[in-house]
Amino acid sequence: MGNTLDLLGGLSRDELRSFCWIAAAVFALVAGLWRWRRLHWTALGAVLLFAALNAGAGIYVLNNFRDSRWSAGGEAPLSAPSFSQTPIVGQYLGPLDSALQGVVGGVNDFLAFKQALPVALDFLAVSGWALLLSFPLAILAAVISFAMARRRSADFEKYRATVDLLKDELEQVKRQISAGTSVGTEIPARTPLNKHATERLTT
């Protein structure tokens, strides 16, 4: 987590926006090549990842609103004057310096938050649009998956019918072979001996 924050800390506002696009595009490319038969789910996953990255970027900007990257040439931070260096009475004005620094720090935080808020809202708005796009994509992906499942089921039924037909034909061939074998191996009937053969045997 710390390494991720360090990486984001080195990105400007435009680079952070480009990072969201590039990460989603790389995911879509890799997942599309890996599971190319489910491109509809890959597209949905890329859109959801893009939405999550932009939402995370918006939250990151709000958590680091004091960062100068979000100012973009806006109002410069205020600085509190010091009264502690005033001759004679300066030593008595030290608490006033502390109070002024607290007030000026609060004003600077407000100005920084005011400058960072539009940047964060831009990221959050892009995330929202991506989420809106994901709803029709999810419906489309579900319809495509249902159609593919029905086609696979129909193909399976066709293959099973073909297998059943082949099994029936195989059984018929087996019966024909068995019938032919039984006829071919049947013992022939004995023929009666003629008269001369009988007389020859008796003599």
pLDDT along the chain (203 residues), means of 10: 60 87 92 82 92 93 84 61 53 58 73 86 94 92 84 76 80 80 53 49 47
Per-residue confidence (pLDDT) for residue 22, from 0 to 100: 93
Buried b (16+ CB within 10 A) or exposed e, 22-38: eebeebbeebbeeeeeb
Q: Report how far residue 185's alpha carbon sits from residue 200's, in angstroms, rounded to the nearest whole number.
A: 32
Nearest to 127 by CA among 57, 40, 28, 44: 57
Per-residue confidence (pLDDT) for residue 193, from 0 to 100: 46
Per-residue confidence (pLDDT) for residue 55, from 0 to 100: 94
Spatial CB neighbours of 134, under 8 Å, sequence gap ≥ 6:
44, 47, 48, 51
Per-residue confidence (pLDDT) for residue 52, from 0 to 100: 94
Per-residue confidence (pLDDT) for residue 6, from 0 to 100: 58
Rg for the chain, CA atoms, rounded: 44
Stated pTM of the model: 0.65
Per-residue confidence (pLDDT) for residue 197, from 0 to 100: 47
What is the residue-wise DSSP string for 15-43? HHHHHHHHHHHHHHHHHHHHTGGGHHHHH
